[in-house]
Amino acid sequence: MGLLSGKKAVIFGVANDKSIAWAIAQAFKRKGAELALTYANETVAKRVRPLAESIGAELVLPCDVRSDAEIKTVFGEIGQAWGGFDILVHSIAFANKEELKGSFLNTTREGFAMALDISAYSLVALVKEAAPLMQGRGGSVLTMTYYGAQKVFPNYNVMGVAKAALEACVRYLAEALGPDGTRINAISAGPLKTLAAAGVGGFNQIAGHVEEKAPLRSNITQEDVAGAALYLCSSLARGVTGDIHFVDSGYNIIGL
């Protein structure tokens, strides 16, 4: 019996085999979960479909989280196929590349709204539709954040503000979902070379700094995040909700 045997998990955010969400999907599958994967658009679908097939994901569905209609449709289809489900993973963020370099003073109204919509509000939008399907199952929601929510990092700019909003959403959603027995937590991951990270200026400099200064003197891997995700989304973490859990080689505890 795997840790997630009999559990059904819906995972948003696989774009390719470097995605954090892909490492989580693989780990969940290995521990016995049934999977539904979603993809943002047809370009991403070309990469996601073969990956989904390779681990026998039961459902593979489109969903651009900017659209309430697409969110409604995707959970409608999941509800029809499964009745309900136990785990929701939100591993999604986006900001225009121009907003992720140079001074934060250059942040535009449009860029701010888009980053906050896709990277923070989308969690609320997904949970709203998912909640009735997760009710009474002791389920768990997980999202991905970064230390740039709490401290200033060069070039992270509007994404730091979006992650701060996301972390606050986790706390408010924990309170809203708690009476139904559903938990929600975030993993604050250290820097990982993915498509999303490629958009942030000076990524290599930050990763190099972590390797030098973090207590564990190394960068993390996608699999390290997946291990923590497994814990947070399983009954092992049944007393944990509203938490921001660092998987960053301990980097966040260092002052100087």
Site residues, ligand NAD (CB under 6 A): 13-15, 19-21, 40, 44, 64-66, 91-94, 118, 144-146, 189, 191-192, 194-197
- CA angle 118-223-1, nearest 5°? 105
| Known catalytic membership, residue 121 | no
Distance set, CA 102 to CA 3, 146, 148, 159 (Å): 45, 19, 15, 13
- From the candidates 39, 146, 147, 251, give the one annotated as an active-site residue: 146
Rounded to the nearest whole angstrom, what is the least distance from the CB of residue 12 to ligand NAD in the complex?
Answer: 6
Rounded to the nearest whole angstrom, what is the least distance from the CB of residue 247 to ligand NAD in the complex?
Answer: 9
Of 21 and 134, which CB lies nearer to ligand NAD in the complex structure? 21
| Known catalytic membership, residue 146 | yes
Rounded to the nearest whole angstrom, what is the least distance from the CB of residue 137 to ligand NAD in the complex?
Answer: 24
Backbone phi and psi for residue 39, each to the nearest 5 degrees, phi listed first: -135, 150
Tracing tokens 């997904």 back to the chain, one arrives at 126
Nearest to 56 by CA among 41, 34, 72: 34
Cα gap 197→201, rounded to integer Å: 9
Q: Which residues pair with 246 in a beta bridge?
A: 188
Of 134 and 162, which CB lies nearer to ligand NAD in the complex structure? 162
- From the candidates 39, 147, 156, 251, give the one annotated as an active-site residue: 156
Of 47 and 137, which CB lies nearer to ligand NAD in the complex structure? 47
Please identify every residue annotated as catalytic. 146, 156
